[in-house]
Amino acid sequence: MQIIKTVKEVQDISRWFRGECKSIGLVPTMGALHEGHLSLVRRSIGENDRTIVSIFVNPAQFGPNEDLQKYPRDTEGDLSKLSELQADVVFMPETEEMYPEGFSTSIDIGPIGKLLCGASRPGHFNAVATVVAKFLNIAIPHRMYLGQKDFQQTVVIKKMARELNFDTNIIVSPTVRENDGLAMSSRNAYLSGEERKASSILYKALKLGQEIIMSNGLDDLSAVKKEMEALIRSEPLAKIDYVKVVDPYNLEPVQRVLFAAVICVAVRIGNTRLIDNIIIEKN
Ligand code: PAF
């Protein structure tokens, strides 16, 4: 496994892979790798000749009062997990390598970046789209792997890649969960024991919403939301940021589920903001 810190070296090695007719899979991450990330790496290794994993805590996507400084970092643990899986390349740039002095370009993803999490994280999705566009130009992958847990991120990145004509297939893999349903996330490391127990309320609420919608019929989605919100509020440590049922393609709220919708939730457990979602498909 090669550990590379410069853009130029990754571009060179990717061009070389392509010259050898090797397919390339890219798994972009911010490190502190957990089973969710590792499932993406395994999938990439299974579906491509070469797998590149990027580890970069992107400062641009953190707001001024967010957790950039304390975001979990575990370089040694990450590298040992990736070498065990036999990833081919790990790209670990310094901030200056990604954003040299004077860097000022950014992608504006448009109104979709202001919905859901974008409402409380201004500029976040533009920064995600920008850094991912850079990764696509650096690793030149045939396929890129993202987790469904960050549903809005997957929609934003697919839109950016489609509209800017990146020739990469964006693959979204199912959320990996703990036994009690909590979606795996690097930020789960912030939770105290009590908060960790309380955080299973997100998945319970999503399952409740799914059951009500599937069981027929409660076509009135505002009533579904109310039931979900009441369940979340029954957990004293939980504070709702939003509970929304949205269209999977444009993330706009839907009034009723015709074919498919996504229930998205963001909830604070103590000081930690957790997000999760579930896709509802009706035949
Ligand atoms: O999901 C993440 O870890 C990040 O948002 C990503 C896609 C690596 C961009 O920094």
List, for the chain, all residue ranges whose pLDDT scores fall below the cut of 70. Answer: 216-219
| CATH number for the domain harbouring residue 220 | 3.30.1300.10
Cβ-in-10-Å burial (0-12, 13-18, 19+) of 215 comes to exposed
**pLDDT value, residue 220:** 82
The answer, yes or no, to whether any atom of ligand 1 lies below 6 A from the CB of 126, is no
Is 181 a domain residue? no
Same domain? 195 vs 157: no
Counting ligand 1 atoms within 8 A of each CB, the residue from 27, 30, 171 with the most, and so the one to mutate, is 30
Same domain? 134 vs 259: no
Same domain? 166 vs 213: no
Strand order across the 169-173 sheet = 2-4, 89-91, 50-55, 24-29, 143-147, 169-173
Domain boundary among 173, 198, 229: 173
**pLDDT value, residue 258:** 86
Beta-strand runs (E) in 174-249: 238-246
66-75 pLDDT, tens digit per residue, is 999 999 999 9
Atom of ligand 1 nearest to the CA of 61: 10
| CATH number for the domain harbouring residue 107 | 3.40.50.620
Cα(200) to centroid of ligand 1, in Å? 23
Same domain? 165 vs 234: no
Is 180 a domain residue? no
- The verdict on whether 37 is a catalytic residue reads yes
**pLDDT value, residue 217:** 61
Share of the chain above pLDDT 70, in %: 99
**pLDDT value, residue 218:** 54
Same domain? 97 vs 124: yes
Q: Which of 34, 37, 124, 142 is catalytic?
A: 37
Cβ-in-10-Å burial (0-12, 13-18, 19+) of 241 comes to middle
Ligand 1, atom 8: closest residue by C-alpha: 29
Cα(130) to centroid of ligand 1, in Å? 11
The answer for residues whose C-beta is within 8 angstroms of residue 58's C-beta and 6 or more apart is 30, 98, 127, 128, 131
Cα(152) to centroid of ligand 1, in Å? 12
**Residue 271: domain span:** 186-281
Same domain? 165 vs 32: yes
97-129 pLDDT, tens digit per residue, is 999 999 999 999 999 999 999 999 999 999 999
For residues 57 and 280, what is the distance between their CA atoms, to the nearest angstrom? 32
Joined together, the tokens standing for residue 194 give 């009590």
Joined together, the tokens standing for residue 176 give 């990996």
Same domain? 59 vs 112: yes
Same domain? 162 vs 196: no
